[in-house]
Chains A and B, each alone.
Chain A
Amino acid sequence: MTNEINLTFPAKSINEGFARLVIMGFIAPLDPSSQELTEIKTVVSEAVTNAIIHGYESDENGVIDLKASLEGNKLRVTVSDRGRGIENVEEAKQPLFTTKADEERSGLGFMIMESFTDAFEVSSSVSQGTSITFEKVLLCDQSSDEGIAS
């Protein structure tokens, strides 16, 4: 199956849940397992939240782009903002690194995104914005394919 969507929405926190619903709906025809669903929802939530709180520093006039495509059972998602950007991406990706400890952020977002996906990439430039792309091959729920496993 080949399909793609392109969605643009304002950087309001209410849209974190909306983005999760959209991505769930997009992959629903593949009948993903509940673990895959949770992983993908979490990664999208982390990326959209980062765009809102870091990229736009909670300025709701910011705009977020969510792109998703399916090629067979390979999902590819990009979340991008045109916010402040990241000075040092390698440093930002370190587990527990955060620039907003005062807002009770713990620096786990990138670690979660990396570990729940098959491929993960951040590209960012200061004052231009940040975009994260991930890929995940959906194996779906083999445990429910009765009769295949012995």
Chain B
Amino acid sequence: MSITVSLHSENQVLFVNLSGELDHHTSGTLRNRLNEVMENSNIRHLVFNLKQLDFMDSSGIGIILGRYNQVKKDNGSVMVLGLRPLVKKTFEMSGLSQIIKIVDDEVEAAEIIRGIA
């Protein structure tokens, strides 16, 4: 039960690729990796790719929402893509899809960010 986090940033956008399982146990690893990057560079937008994620529960939603709370004061944004149907349903039921945009791919995310910036 583990998570693999791969990160790359471009301009002020951090692309976060996750694989494995994201639960409370593995969320610390992800949070530390994100904090490390965000402390040392000027990230305003995050794009989470969950396509390769085998499992995610509310702990994952908490982390994603937490990053949104970090970047929103700089007019930043957080987007997610590759959601499995049930994760998507959870996002929609909770109203989170109103503030965390669900996009089709990184290209769409980049276009939206260009519009904001």
Contact B62 A105 (CB under 8 A): yes
Over the window 85-117 of chain B, the binary record of Cβ atoms lying under 8 Å from chain A Cβ atoms (1 yes, 0 no) is 110011001101000000000000000000000
Bound CA–CA A109/B23 (angstroms): 12
| A95 CB-CB contact with B under 8 Å | yes
- Chain A residues near B31 (CB-CB < 8 A): 104
Check if B62 sits within 8 Å of A104, measured CB to CB: yes
Residue pairs across A and B with CB atoms within 8 Å: the count is 69
Tally of B interface residues using CB under 8 Å:
23
Provide the main secondary structure of the chain A interface: helix
B57 to chain A, nearest CB (A): 5
Chain A's interface size range is: 20 to 34
Q: Which of A10-18, A70-78, A123-131 contacts its partner? A: A10-18
Query: Of A16, A52, A53, A104, which contacts B65 at CB under 8 A?
Result: A104
Neighbour of A111 across the interface among B63, B84, B93, CB < 8 A: B93
> Does A96 lie within 8 Å of B55, measured CB to CB?
no
Which residues in B have some Cβ–Cβ distance to A below 8 Å?
A: 1, 21, 23-25, 31, 55, 57-59, 61-63, 65-66, 84-86, 89-90, 93-94, 96
